[in-house]
Amino acid sequence: MTHPHTTAASPSSDRSVEPRRDGAPIRPDRLTVSAAIALLTISALHTVAFALHPWWGAWMAGPFRTAQLPVDAAVQFWGLPGGFVVPGVLLALLILRAGRRGDTVPLYIALTLGIWALVCIWMVGPSGFVLLLIPAVLLLIAARRARRRAEHRG
């Protein structure tokens, strides 16, 4: 997954990006890696928050196929094994791979993640979805800086 404005030049040798206060360059690929790490951390925290409860045994027995479980069991199921964690980790690993290669991800990844988080926050109020705004914003900034870098070279 590469951003359409990413070039093949080595990002470590590019000094055309905005400097930080300490003079070091701000590279979009580092923001991309940071976003991936944030998403992996959120997935891990989500797992910790939902992992310890009494429904694992009932789920492993397969009652959703044959019986109606209590609402609490269904909510917990959609919170962990049937929810965000596995796709979140997979997305984070793809983003991490792009960042480590010196690339950014397409803008639609950041926009979709951010819009999804905002809609969920609107629906359920402040919750763990607020944390998803961190990788979304990092990816938005990375995309903007990658575009600026490409325009500067162009």
Could you tell me the two tokens for 67? Answer: 């019986």
Quote the number of domains for the chain. Answer: 1
Per-residue pLDDT, 49: 81
In a domain, residue 137? The reply is: yes
**pLDDT the model gives residue 18:** 52
- pLDDT tens for each residue of 24-67: 556 899 999 999 999 999 999 988 887 777 888 877 877 677 77
Considering the domain boundaries, does residue 116 fall inside one?
A: yes
Question: Tens digit of pLDDT for each residue in 74-115?
Answer: 888 887 778 889 999 999 999 999 999 999 999 999 999 999
Structure tokens at 92: 């984070």
Q: Does residue 21 belong to any structural domain of this protein?
A: no
Nearest to 130 by CA among 140, 141, 142, 120: 120
| CA gyration radius, the chain | 19
In a domain? residue 47:
yes
68 in any annotated domain: yes
Distance of alpha carbon 24 from alpha carbon 16, whole angstroms: 11
Give the domain range for residue 58: 27-153
- pLDDT of 14 strictly over 60: no
H-type alpha helices, the chain: 28-51, 56-60, 63-66, 71-79, 85-100, 107-124, 133-153
At residue 103, the pLDDT reads 94
Confidence bin at 8 (pLDDT 50/70/90)? very low
